[in-house]
Chain A
Amino acid sequence: MPNTRSAPSRRSFLASTAVAAAAVGSAGPLLTACSSDGGSGDGGGPGRVSEKEAEQILPAYQASEFAVQPDIPGQSGSSPGYTSYIEVADLGVSVPEPLAGGTALSAMTPLWGTAPKKGNPYWTAMDEAIGTAMTWQIQDGNTYGDKLGAVLAGSDIPDLVCIPGWEYNKGQIPKAVEQRFADLGPYLSGDKVLKYPNLAAIPTAAWKASIFGGALRGLPMPQQVIGGVVPFYREDIFEQNGWTPPTSADEFLAFAKEITDAGSKRWACEDFKWSAWVYFGVLPEKPMCWREEGGKLVHRYETDAYLEALEWTRKLYEAGVVHPDAVAAAGDATARFTAGESLMMNTGSGVWHGTVSEQLTGGNPDFRMNAMDFFRHDGGDPVLYAGNGAGIWTFLSKDLPEEKILAALELANFCAAPYGTYENRLRDYGVEGTHYTVENGVPVRTPDGEAQAAQVTYGFIASPEVAIAHPDQPKVVEDKCAWEQRMMPFVQEPLFYGRQIQEPDHLANLSDPFEALEDDVVRGRKSLSDMQNAVAEWRRTGGDELRDWYQKLLDEETA
């Protein structure tokens, strides 16, 4: 079904990424474009933590003793890849004993699919292995933010609540996080985390992005440094025609015109605005949207790069190389891409494996897709801005009694077991024989496995370090690892990288009209000067105030 919320918005990318990533069982969704936004008291108030304070709050890091040597090791920060299947007998066991007592916990999580039935074998097996009795309150992922707002505004909230990063920065959710959820510092800070070895093996960057309102509140789902938006191309069709992916903005435009053949329903690309940000070096979204220029902070909207990226994207639209359904923001971009109606598209890297395996097993055996390298618009080296260490968190209600908090942390510890452990296999695939069978050395889900284990629930509670593990589609693992390895050298950390910042209430909604305005500009309904006027208005109605606010934050930090 097409996304009811229209358009390739940031949210729809990330949502699709999260689902796919979690569903195929690789560690976490690989988000970058959005990740952390906002996150603590207003002003330079009590919610903010300095680097020093953060160090005291953060859990210690201790690598897992069960970590398996990856088939493709990570390079300069890229994710490790696993192409080979590990037999159940060879898996490590990181949680030897289930918790006694079967503590009852309720959890609210999003799902992009059909919720499994209560008491299904997968949930039962997980509960027995962990020692909990979970009650899942599963909500539709597409409208999760709306439910979240209502649930948190009420007085009776579930014991555990999952909040994806793209829902976090909306409205009063940051306030809600501070007000409704428990500080986990007393249980996890420093060496206390060593009681939970799998949580201790979560990278510090992920924990750092889990500090909300001056306290460690989130249980993180770690995410990759890059990969939130990846430009993909149809490798099979490109090879048939002897094409190679373009390497500069001008070349892209000329190439796109050449390969578009509307008469036979073939367009060069989907909406490419998100890749254009990278091509032209546009700063990421808030709070990492500032750059220092001559001792003064400059916002992403104020940069030439922002306008240039919009202008280039607009040229694509004008040239008629963007699929008309993408112009109308209708239907499903991935479906058009797999059908060969559009040959290039950008989306979250999390959908990669799911798309490929769906096509190959679903009667499209020649289907191949691959990621295009980012380029700078003039053909030089691109700049990729690093995303935060975690993009989805689960929080614990502050009303929980201590024994329930301890049980919830044990639950998280189980869920965060790394690739190569029995717990991780159980979490992602379920029980061998019931939920998956091993055919030709790769795990294949049974219908029960698809309906139960593939519908992510426990996966949202906490996740291990990112690993690209798809023994069934080794080519995807190789391509993905190779792309990351090629791109990692171009990664830079933006200002205010790595943690949560909450803007003052009255300025927090300032940039809201811009996404719609960008869409207006690239589709030719508004001009670049309209955009410039909007930026001038933005400055006047609070942008300059916001600049001062961030400047103060920066000064305090460097002082």
Chain B
Amino acid sequence: MSQSTVPRPRPPRTPEEDGGGTAPPRTGRPAGDGPPPARRGRLLRRRDRRPGLPKDDPRLRGGVTLRHRFRRDWALIVMTMPVVLGLLIFAYIPIAGNVIAFYHFSPYNGEGFFDSLANSASAGTYYFERMWNDSYFRAALENTLVFSFLQLVLFFPIPIALALLINSFLHSKVRAWSQAVLYLPHFFSWVLVITVFQQIFGGAGLIAQAGRNAGFAEGFDLMTDPAFFKWLVTAQLIWKDAGWGIIVFLAALSAVNTELYESAAVDGAGRWRRMWHVTLPALRPVIALLLVLQVGNMLSVGMEQYLIQRTAVGPGASEVLDTYVWFVGIERGQFSYAAAVGIVKGIFSLCLVLAANRVAHAMGEAGVYKRS
């Protein structure tokens, strides 16, 4: 989760509006996290009453000056500085390097990046046109979207269901144990996961050999069927990462006020009604947030998983955008072309996030960031 999702109570608009001083948490996050808003409100009010405060003091209009905010938040700002700096150096400044998409760039045109760039001929939109005309690119894009869509539909709900299931175990040992079992596959590398799948579903795997020994038809092999591949990779992903995905949901569940369950039970709500009216609403903000992130990541379905199984089913079934960039850009050293693909991918992803976020807002959720 990004920092911006942490709900921070806004400073009270005016002293009058700040009724009882208990601003409700905006996103259903449990109260108790973060500084209690009430006290700050009261403090401000007391100060406001001080005589001699100029009429146009921003605090009177409900704002807080930059200086005050800094004084209030400096510790938080210092804490985030390393991350901001890291982002700046490793994410934002390198974005400028995308300029090579408009040149026939080679690092060997000169000494150092800038000299090389100066010696590279301008390419205009050549690489973008080439990308558009490349049937391999379009196939990779199509595969990527299909895989992403399947992940969204099949993978996404599973961690939620698992979290609800685990949450319903009362015995803490059983809970801890089942959590551990579910997490574990996440730490396997893709090579290992695919080897395990090969050993079970491959042409010489457990099922195929059992079938042969039982005299069933030859040729059971799920690992080399291009048509089945999209289901296969989704299944692999579920096996590997569904358990890991429940962590966030479990955290959200643990924060649900138990009194709500008790009151609901007193009112005669059964197990399912409690889940529907208490648990799920508590999870809603987290679900919305993760959904937005997932949609924003639609063009990055992963890389190693597809790279390893490329020969088994062929690039026609397995090439995704990331492996395409890998082969065309990195393996063949066409950096400018790879940058062009990267730019298009980045812009498209940004649009997806913005669109998904809008939908989240429309549904009354905070999404990735809040509108101010």
Contact = CB atoms under 8 A, between A and B. Distances in A.
B202 A324 contact: yes
B114 to A, nearest CB: 11
Given A263-B213, A329-B311, A330-B198, A146 B330 contact: yes
Contacts of B332: 170-171, 509, 512
A327 interface: yes
Interface string B289-320: 00000000000000010011111111110000
Contact of A320 (B111, B191, B198, B218): B218
B331 A171 contact: yes
Contacts of B313: 525
B239 to A, nearest CB: 16
Interface string B13-31: 0000000000000000000
A114 B63 CA distance: 61
A325 interface: yes
Given A320-B219, A330-B194, A331-B195, A4 B112 contact: no
Interface string A119-153: 00000000000000000000000000110010011
Interface stretch (A79-87, A457-465, A468-476, A516-524): A516-524
B314 A519 contact: yes
Interface in B202-249: 202-205, 208-209, 212-213, 218-219, 221, 223-224, 226
A171 B313 CA distance: 26
17 contacts: A2-B191, A4-B191, A5-B308, A149-B333, A171-B334, A172-B107, A172-B333, A178-B108, A179-B108, A180-B108, A262-B218, A327-B224, A330-B194, A512-B327, A516-B314, A519-B314, A525-B316
A235 interface: no
B106 interface: yes
B183 interface: no
B333 A171 contact: yes
A320 B204 CA distance: 11
A173 B331 CA distance: 10
Contacts of B226: 525
A60 B208 CA distance: 61
A328 interface: yes
B136 interface: yes
A229 B316 CA distance: 28
Contact of B203 (A172, A325, A520): A325
A323 interface: yes
A62 B212 CA distance: 63
Nearest to B190: A4
Chain A interface size, as a band, is: 35 or more
Contacts of B203: 324-325, 327-328
A69 interface: no
Given A172-B106, A263-B212, A328 B195 contact: no
Contacts of A6: 307-312
B259 to A, nearest CB: 52
Contacts of B314: 516, 519-520, 523, 525-526
A1 interface: yes
Interface string B183-194: 000000001001
A513 interface: yes
A175 B198 contact: no
A311 B112 CA distance: 49
Contacts of A192: none
Contact of A155 (B106, B112, B221, B327): B112
B312 A513 contact: no
Q: Which 9 pairs across A and B sit closest by C-beta, in order of nearness? A: A171-B333, A324-B203, A329-B311, A153-B107, A7-B311, A172-B333, A328-B312, A175-B108, A324-B204
Interface residues of B, number: 41
A176 interface: yes
A22 to B, nearest CB: 24
B191 to A, nearest CB: 5
A265 B209 contact: yes
Given A5-B308, A516-B315, 14 more contacts: A4-B304, A6-B309, A6-B311, A146-B330, A149-B330, A153-B107, A262-B212, A324-B202, A325-B198, A327-B221, A327-B224, A327-B312, A328-B198, A341-B204
A176 B108 contact: yes
A327 B226 CA distance: 12
Nearest to B222: A328
A329 B223 CA distance: 10
Interface string A323-356: 1110111110000000001000000000000000
A4 B308 contact: yes
Contact of A330 (B218, B223, B316): B223
Nearest to A179: B108
Contacts of A179: 108
Contacts of A341: 204
Interface in A474-529: 509, 512-513, 516, 519-520, 523, 525-526
A330 B221 contact: no
B311 A519 contact: yes
Interface string A307-329: 00000000000001001110111
Contacts of A172: 106-108, 333
Contacts of A154: 107
A138 to B, nearest CB: 21
A7 B208 CA distance: 21
Given A1-B191, A171-B332, A265-B209, A328 B224 contact: yes
Contact of B202 (A175, A178, A328): A328
A107 to B, nearest CB: 21
A5 B331 contact: no
Interface in B305-350: 307-316, 327, 330-334
B118 to A, nearest CB: 15
B334 A331 contact: no
A145 B331 contact: yes
B213 A325 contact: no
Interface in A259-282: 262-263, 265, 267
B205 to A, nearest CB: 8
Contacts of A145: 331
A163 to B, nearest CB: 14
A444 B106 CA distance: 49
A2 B195 contact: yes
Interface string A53-71: 0000000000000000000
Contact of B221 (A263, A324, A331): A324
B333 A323 contact: no
Nearest to B213: A263
Nearest to B204: A324
Contacts of B315: 516, 520
Max chain A C-beta neighbours (<10 A), residue from B224, B310, B330: B224
B333 to A, nearest CB: 2
A175 B107 CA distance: 9
B220 to A, nearest CB: 9
Contacts of A265: 204, 209
A383 to B, nearest CB: 28
Contact of B316 (A4, A171, A520): A520
A290 to B, nearest CB: 22
A176 B332 CA distance: 13
Contacts of A175: 106, 108
Contacts of B136: 513
A221 B310 CA distance: 32
Contacts of B108: 152-153, 172, 175-176, 178-180
Max chain A C-beta neighbours (<10 A), residue from B202, B204, B310: B204
